[in-house]
Amino acid sequence: MNFEPNYQTMKNDIGTLKDVEFLVDQFYLAVQHDPFIGPIFNDRLSGRWEVHHKKLYRFWHTVLLRRPDYYGDPVPIHFQMNINDLHFNQWLMIWVKIVDENFEGTIAERAKLRGKTMANAFLEKILKNAKQENQTK
Ligand code: HEM
């Protein structure tokens, strides 16, 4: 029996800004090609992908490595996108898959957990906002 760790198949954890950038790049590459949620991003971000990536590097750097780099409230920008729980499920499915394919460790687990809790929180706020808008119509 060999109880030595198999370093060849072990993945690294997310540890640096470079890792965060790689993760964000891989994620949005998959998102762009997703037939369900891809068009929402592509329609809105056409010609502005680079700026979006830079923002999301800072966002995830703040969340994962706790380097305060992103300021602001990212939720309201999602209000007019007409997105629901099915979109968020797909978003989360892709996020978890990309994290798992590329990293493993404590921060990778944090990435998946925070992805899940934030997707739920965003959705809740979006639904609440839609309800309020309906009531004021
Ligand atoms: C299906 C679900 C989602 C869709 C379709 C979506 C779509 C988008 C789009 C199109 C933008 C760019 C808006 C613009 O600049 O005009 C954006 C921005 C952003 N999204 Fe999402 N998003 C989703 C879920 C999430 C989740 C779960 C998170 C967090 C974990 C997130 C974090 C952000 C952040 C941080 C920004 C930048 C906000 C800013 O301008 O400061 N998104 N999203």
- The CA radius of gyration of the chain, in Å to the nearest whole number, is 17
| pTM for this entry | 0.93
What percent of the chain clears pLDDT 90, i.e. is strictly above it?
87
Max CA distance (Å), the chain: 69
Mean pLDDT of 74-92: 97
Domain boundaries along the sequence of the chain:
17-135
DSSP letters of 40-58? HHHHHHTTTHHHHHHHHHH
In this prediction, residue 92 carries a pLDDT of 98
In this prediction, residue 1 carries a pLDDT of 64
Contact by Cβ (8 Å): 17, 65: yes
Q: Which CATH number fits the domain 17-135, given the four candidates 3.30.200.20, 1.10.490.10, 3.30.43.10, 3.55.50.30?
A: 1.10.490.10
Mean pLDDT of 34-42: 98
The DSSP code for 113 is H
Please identify, by atom number, the ligand 1 atom nearest to the C-alpha of residue 56.
35
Taking 90 as the threshold, does the pLDDT of residue 133 lie above it? no
Q: Distance from the CA of 74 to the center of ligand 1, in angstroms?
A: 7
Mean pLDDT of 36-61: 97
Token digits for 32?
């762009």
**Digit-coded pLDDT (tens) for 85-130:** 999 999 999 999 999 999 999 999 999 999 999 999 999 999 999 9
Q: Distance from the CA of 40 to the center of ligand 1, in angstroms?
A: 10
Please identify, by atom number, the ligand 1 atom nearest to the C-alpha of residue 114.
30
Those residues whose C-beta lies under 8 Å from the C-beta of residue 37, and which sit 6 or more positions away, are: 31, 87, 90, 91, 94
**Continuous H helices in the chain:** 17-32, 38-45, 49-65, 85-102, 106-135
